[in-house]
Structure 1
């Protein structure tokens, strides 16, 4: 008997909402490339808008890495327009960080601001993450703005 392993089907994305995203104006030797504030922990609802915004800025995204425990569901492929993006779920990745990789192998590291964060604190956190002078990591930024 031959068993053929089929790849998991790609989840079609709903109509994406505009991402609440602040990106650094330049790429340099920063810890983070910006901050993202999703509206929920539902990756099917939140990732399409982020992918469109990142694609506009950095070109096509081929892979996204997320924390396995922070999100409400997990799947391995997401279709946004004509693109299929692979998703990786890791328990070793901090919930405050998302890593996207472009087709040119450029890594984009984003602070993930929890959805329930008050607006003023979320905006400060995203601005800090996008600041080229920032040397703090995601969890430290969130701890500072949520005091």
Structure 2
């Protein structure tokens, strides 16, 4: 059965990648104000499609709590 990612409110484009290192740029529209839950769900979807997610940048002006680390698909 093929992988079916849930519908995400997301717009991404690849930046100039170096070999073995892909970078994405884009925008994402979360469904709640719980950043820990939202980032984990976002990374769960992107991880099998783009490889292990190691960094996500968010604007701290819009989030009262920003997690330093998340558990995603069995890794931190």
Q: TM-score range by the shorter chain?
A: 0.5 to 0.7
> Rg bigger for which structure?
1
TM-score, normalisation: structure 2 = 0.61
DSSP 3-state at the match of 2:64: coil
Alignment of structure 1 residues 98-117 onto 2, 5 Å: none
Match of 1:45 among 37, 46, 68: 37
Distance (whole Å) between structure 2 residues aligned to residue 79 and residue 18 of structure 1:
21
DSSP 3-state at the match of 1:79: coil
| Structure 2 match to 1:34 | 26
Q: RMSD across aligned C-alpha pairs, in angstroms?
A: 2.5
Alignment of structure 1 residues 66-145 onto 2, 5 Å: 66-84=58-76
Q: Shift of residue 61 of structure 1?
A: 0.7
Match of 2:48 among 46, 49, 56: 56
1:23–1:79 Cα change, 3 Å: same
- Aligned length, in residue pairs: 64
| Structure 1 match to 2:20 | none
* Residues 47-104 of structure 1: per-residue CA shift (max 9 Å, x gap): 11210222122210112222222113122111123111xxxxxxxxxxxxxxxxxxxx
Aligned partners of 1:42 and 1:72 also within 8 Å: no
Task: Please identify which structure carries the higher strand content.
Answer: 1
Larger RCO, structures 1/2 (Cα 8 Å, 6+ apart): 1
Structure 1 segments (4+ residues) deviating >3 Å: none
Gaps of 5+ in 2: 1-5, 17-23
